Every structure is written in C-alpha cells, then in structure tokens.
Amino acid sequence: MAQLSLLWKSPEVNPINKKARSVPFLNPITNVYGRVFFFSWFGFMIAFWSWYAFPPLLADVIAKDIGMKQFQVANSNIIALTATLIVRLIAGTCCDNFGPRWTFSGCLLAGAIPTFLAGAVYNASGLYALRFFIGILGGSFVPCQVWTTGFFDKNIVGTANALTGGLGNLGGGITYFVMPAIYNSLVRNGLSTSRAWRVSFIVPGVLIVFVATCLLLLCPDTPTGKWSERSADAEASLRRHSATRIANVPGQIADSPPVVEKPDISDIEEKPHDWKDNGHQATDQKIMDTARGEVVQNPSFKEVMHVMISPQAIVTAACYFCTFGAELAINSILGNYYTKNFPNLGLQETGNWAAMFGLLNGVTRPLGGFISDLAYRHTHSVWAKKVVLHSYGILTGVFLIIIGALDSRSQPTMFGLIASLAFFLEGGNGADFGLVPHVHPYANGVVSGFTGASGNFGGIIFAIIFRYNGKDYGKAFWIIGVMTIGINLIVSWIRPIPKEQIGCQ
C-alpha cells in the first residue's frame, strides 16, 4: 500500500538537484512534479494523434477525394517522417538553449498551424507540403523526454521517460479510433465526405493549442524555476547542502576540532546508485561535481557535433533507429498486411487490430523503462541498463525474423506474434530512454534529439524497404529483423558512458 500511495502523494525530493524520486502519476493538480509529468505525456499524445491523423482516413477517404495514387500515399508517409527527423535534431539543441517547456510549446503551436490548414488540400502536392509541416508535431517527443528527465531523479527517470513516451505514443493508436469516429459523425450530421474529413482536423488543432497554452501557464521550466537561472539555482542548492553539512557536525565552539567520518549520504539519495554508478560510497566532493555535471549547458555547434559523434550517443541512436524506426514503418503497413493475409476481415476490424500494436505502447514501453531502472537499482551500474537495452533489441530482431519467415495465415498466430513483437520492440524504446539521461547529462537535449531523430531515420529506411518489397511484407519483416540484430551486436561492446565522465563505470 505504501508503494501504491506513491502514485498520488508528494514525492520525496533529492535536496541537491530537487528532482523527484517517484512519479505522482495520479496527482497532476496539486503537485508540480505530477503536473509536469501529466503535460509531458498528454501533450505528446495529442501531438502524436495529430501527427498520425491522416493515415486512418488517407487511403479510403482522402486519397479518393483528391485523386491520389497508392505510391503517392506511401510518399506522403515518408515525407511526414522526414520532417520529424529534421525537427527532432533542431529541438534537441533548442531544449538545451531555451529549455524543454518552451521548445515543447513551440513544436505544438507550430504544428497546430498546418493541422488547421488540412482543409485547404486539394491535390497530392498540397498534401505532401502539409504533412511535411505537420511532421513538426513528431518533434515534440524530444522536449517531452528532456522535460521529464529534468524533474525525475536517476532512480526513477527511466520509468518516468518510458511512461511519458509510452502514453504519448498511444496517440498513434487512438487516432485510428477517433479520426474515423469524428469523420463519420460529421457525415451523419449532413456534411459531404469531402467537407467532413477537412473539418475533422479542427478537433486535434484546437486541442493542441489548448494543451500548449496550459503547458506554458501552469508548469515551470525546472524544479527550481526558470531555465535561464538553472546554473545559479544549482550552485545555490549546492552551497546550502555544503553549509548544512558543516552545521550538522557535532560539538561546541570550545571543543577541539572533531574528527568527521566519511559522510553517510543516505539522506540525499537512494544509495549508492543515484550519484555514483558503482558500488563505492561517494564523497561529498564527488556528489557536488556530479551534480554540477548534470546541469544542462548551452552548447556551441562544435560541442553539439562532439556529443552526437560520441560512441555513447551513437549507441542510443543506433538502438532507437531499430526499435522506433521499425515501429513507425510497421504502423504504416500493418493494416495492409492484415488485409492481404486475412481478406475476410473488414476495413474496421483490420484497423482495430492494427491499432492494437500502437496501443500496447501504454504498457510495453513503460515496462521497458521500469526493467531498465530495476536492473540499475540492483546492480548500481549503467552497464545493466545497456544489457537490458541490447537484450530487448536482439529479441525484437528474433521476432521480426519469425514473423517474416512464417508469414502466417492464422489469425491467432499472427496477432500473437505481433503482440510479442510489440512487447520487445516498444519495450526497447523505453529501455533506450532509460539509458539516455546517463549519457552526457550536461547535453541531454542534444542526446535526446539525436536519438529521437535516429528513430525517424530508421522509420524512413524501413519504410523504403517495405515499399520496394511491394506486398511481400514477410520478406521486409525478416530483412529488418536481421538488420536489428546486427546493429545491436555491433554497438554492444561500447561503454555506456565515457571514461572521463563523473560516475563512470
């Protein structure tokens, strides 16, 4: 019951960095940590819904209305991913310079404009341009993760990131239910099919603007206040902590100087894994140095490039290329794959089963982050998080190969295999962003943006593989599976964090 109460009670806070050690999931009103957590996942969910608002209506309604061919539909999916790749790279640097809250709201408001303009599309070229700019919304994932990282401590940050990412990704499944429902409701109320799909995009547009406004008005940049004052706030907190240490030393002025033993830091962390990644007790100086190293800096272009080409950032990017990249590509073709193998399924039923793949994110991705945190707490080593990440990646590849090799015509077999694939593929996404906060924490936005953009790059590459294999979906699945296993094995030997980084192991 005590553990359950953590879902709504005010969390214990690390007194040095002011980050929470639990996630008050059910307390978004009175607790600032719960409020930031809520707007992180809910804002990304609304963004994801609008980002993927076209696919549920594209093939059967929009394409017919504006005279698009099948290859043009596929092209529009790839263009939407390309835009998001670019925006995620930019958003990472913006997070470090301006803060994730402003970057988040900027992505939402910028993406709301093309969402409202959806009704102005009358040909394939117009749709290409519109979906490119709507792709800005996909970039909101980066500030979502960076913002969460800034509010939750290392013992729980993997779970927090996985929850915000997983619940946000639910938008990709929800859109398959919501957009057709809005469209059908408008048709039943007398609108023509051509006008109904155009009007339906007003709904996500209004929600995006509302969430962006609430996010700005109701939430802070950091646990200590304004983003521009984060360094000064961190130093002030460290000074207070140091002064408290001195004040708490026993003895009177007249006494001889006491012998002070090595401090017990159990009052400021769940020892020993929060500040030191090995099993040895950290000194106060090491704690201070680590805390300073976690304060996000304003990186120069040279520093941005240095972080992105570091082996540790390449690991998280390569793994996300495989997991989230495969998720995006599979989301785009899964309905068609089911239709090909199970022609007896109707359009709505096919869409419902395809939506389940995205909806599983609500469970599978948070579980990946939780397992990553659990391994870290039990081993006190970032290597454990890396082992979890690659285990997820290799098992994802195994299930991709099995699905492709069997190409099953049995519904229970196919749906069971896809659900198993989702468990490891989507869980791998959560495990990846459980490791990201440990990699160059002073440039967390850059690492998050680079990793997130790599996921979109993977989506583009894998979408191209699906496209050039036509309706031979099974072949494309096993090709992606072989790539996933190979990439994970290639980067598995790289250290999780650089040798020179404080807390390295």
Tens of pLDDT, residues 380-400: 899 999 999 999 999 999 999
Report percent pLDDT > 70 for the chain.
85
Mean pLDDT, the chain, whole residue set: 85
The amino acid that residue 259 corresponds to is: V
pLDDT tier at 245, thresholds 50, 70, 90: low
For the ranges 92-106, 129-143, 176-190, 397-411, the lowest mean pLDDT is seen at 176-190
Angle at 421 between CA 171 and CA 410, to 5 degrees: 105
* Residues in the chain, total: 505
Q: Which two tokens stand for residue 471?
A: 């309706």
The whole-angstrom separation of Cα 77 and Cα 255 is 75
Report percent pLDDT > 90 for the chain.
59
Provide the 3-class DSSP secondary structure of residue 233. Answer: helix
* In contact, 399 and 418? CB cutoff 8 Å: no
Q: Is the pLDDT of residue 501 over 70?
A: no
Q: Is the pLDDT of residue 108 over 90?
A: yes
For the ranges 43-47, 288-292, 311-315, 364-368, the lowest mean pLDDT is seen at 288-292
CA dihedral sign of residues 198, 199, 200, 203: positive
Q: Is the pLDDT of residue 481 over 70?
A: yes
Task: Please provide residue 256's backbone torsions phi and psi, each rounded to the nearest 5 degrees.
Answer: -70, 155
* In contact, 166 and 363? CB cutoff 8 Å: yes
Comparing 242 with 467, the larger pLDDT belongs to 467
pLDDT at 304: 86
Q: How many Cα atoms are found within 13 Å in the side-chain-facing hemisphere of 308?
A: 19
pLDDT at 175: 85
CB atoms under 10 Å from CB of 347, counted, come to: 12
The separation between CA 195 and the C-alpha centre of its own chain, rounded to angstroms, equals: 34
Ranges of H-type helices in 283-409: 284-293, 301-308, 311-341, 347-359, 361-379, 382-406
Residue 465, burial from CB neighbour count under 10 angstroms (0-12, 13-18, 19+): middle
Tens of pLDDT, residues 10-27: 899 988 888 999 999 899
Mean pLDDT for the stretch of residues 65-90: 87
* In contact, 426 and 361? CB cutoff 8 Å: yes
pLDDT at 270: 39
Q: What letter does residue 504 receive in the DSSP assignment?
A: -
Q: Is the pLDDT of residue 71 over 90?
A: no
Q: Is the pLDDT of residue 273 over 50?
A: no
* In contact, 405 and 266? CB cutoff 8 Å: no
pLDDT at 265: 37
Q: Is the pLDDT of residue 254 over 80?
A: no
Tens of pLDDT, residues 413-425: 999 999 999 999 9
* In contact, 444 and 297? CB cutoff 8 Å: no
Tens of pLDDT, residues 400-451: 999 999 999 999 999 999 999 999 999 999 999 999 999 988 888 899 999 9
The whole-angstrom separation of Cα 490 and Cα 487 is 5
CA distances for 395 relative to 80, 329, 437, 459, 473, angstroms: 29, 18, 24, 19, 20
CB atoms under 10 Å from CB of 246, counted, come to: 8
pLDDT at 277: 41
All structural domains of the chain, each given as residue ranges with its CATH number in brackets, are 22-223 (1.20.1250.20), 299-505 (1.20.1250.20)
Q: Which two tokens stand for residue 311?
A: 């082996």
For the ranges 222-236, 257-271, 303-317, 464-478, the lowest mean pLDDT is seen at 257-271
